[in-house]
Amino acid sequence: MSMGFLLFEVRRITRARKFWVVAFLFPTLMYLMQANLFSGEIAEKTGVDFSSYLLGSLAAFGALFVALNVGTRVAFERSSGWQRQLRLTPLTATSYLVAKLTTAMVVALPAITVVALTGFALEGVRLPVLGWLHLVLGVWAGTLPFALLGVFIGQIASAETVQVLTTVSHMLLGVLGGALFPSVAFPQWMQVVSAVMPSRWLAEIGHSAFGGGQTALAAAILAGWTVLLGGAVAWRYVRDSARV
């Protein structure tokens, strides 16, 4: 992978101040609003208070929100001709895609950390050091398939349609996957739908930091989504390259 191109990508996204404001504020405010709404209640079938349960969910939502948005920038690069220009340089397809994914993962970590710090400082959530590492690093590692999904959306969308597809993806993953609102409060049919969404299992990794979660199952399902979406990204990039 070209380190120069990777550093260029990271610098470019970190200078987008409006992006960071939205990336930090949206999941954090959603967490605070719901933590106060369900204050003092216990999440059904978990034995965990909602302030802690929601911390796992909204940390997951913050991570996927950021990862999807970074990946979909690919659509603007395709529409502007920037991606085609890069194909004429020594930069390989693998380096380009890995740089996009790495950038998404780099910016996802602060988004998770901000939500975790908010729970600690404002809602009194407490975990041992290993518990915090499980929450932050576990959710971060599980973000990879969402970074791949963002890149894939960027590969199939135009600059005019990418925002619509990204917003729809945010809502489907956040709402139906139980990352934006607690899935334990869903009716039975929504529980079934939620179980097939990758965001449900990313949130499950966050929940498991407080005990009783299905960490191994969540990791296996997210690994499967990673393989599936990784194949889709590679296929699409090869197909686009053949058109040049």
Provide DSSP, 177-216: TTTTTTGGGS-HHHHHHHHT-HHHHHHHHHHHTTSS--HH
Rounded distance between C-alpha atoms, residue 73 and residue 94, angstroms? 17
Predicted TM-score (pTM) of the model is 0.91
40 vs 173: CA distance, rounded Å = 27
- Cβ 177 vs Cβ 203: under 8 Å: yes
Q: Is the pLDDT of residue 206 over 80?
A: yes
Closest-CA residue to 153 (of 240, 231, 75, 47): 75
The string of pLDDT tens digits covering residues 75-106 is 888 887 777 777 777 777 778 888 889 999 99
The pLDDT of 125-148, averaged and rounded, is 96
- Say how many Å lie between the first and final Cα of the chain, rounded: 22
Determine the average pLDDT of the residues in 17-44.
84
Ranges 55-69, 93-107, 124-138: which has the least confidence: 93-107
Residue 19's pLDDT band, with cuts at 50, 70 and 90, is confident
Q: DSSP letters along 116-150, please?
A: HHHHHHHS-----HHHHHHHHHHHHHTTHHHHHHH
Confidence check: pLDDT of 217 > 60 = yes
Give me the domain span that covers residue 130: 3-242
Q: CA 226, CA 79: separation in Å to the nearest integer?
A: 26
pLDDT at 242 over 70: no
Sign of CA dihedral 66, 70, 71, 72: positive
Answer whether residue 128 shows pLDDT above 80: yes
Lowest-confidence pick of 10-14, 46-50, 86-90, 224-228: 86-90
Task: Supply the pLDDT for residue 243.
Answer: 60
Nearest 5 degrees, angle CA 60-CA 216-CA 179?
20
Q: How many CA atoms lie within 13 A of 140 on its CB side?
A: 20
Q: What is the pLDDT of residue 169?
A: 94
- The one-character DSSP state at 49 is B
Whole-number Cα distances in Å, 80 to 14, 159, 183, 226: 21, 9, 40, 28
pLDDT confidence of residue 94: 78
Neighbours of 26 (CB within 10 A): 18
Mean pLDDT across 208-219: 88
Q: Please state, as a whole number, how many other Cβ atoms lie within 10 Å of the Cβ of residue 100.
A: 24
52 touches 150 (CB < 8 A): no
Q: For residue 209, what are its two tokens?
A: 């930091």
Higher-confidence residue: 67 or 84?
Answer: 67
Compute the average pLDDT of residues 42-60: 85
Q: Please give the tally of structural domains in the chain.
A: 1
State the Cα–Cα distance between residues 53 and 225, nearest whole angstrom: 24
The band of 71, judged by pLDDT with boundaries at 50, 70 and 90, is confident
Q: Indicate the average pLDDT of the chain.
A: 87
pLDDT at 147: 95
Is residue 142 within 8 A of residue 201, CB to CB? The reply is yes
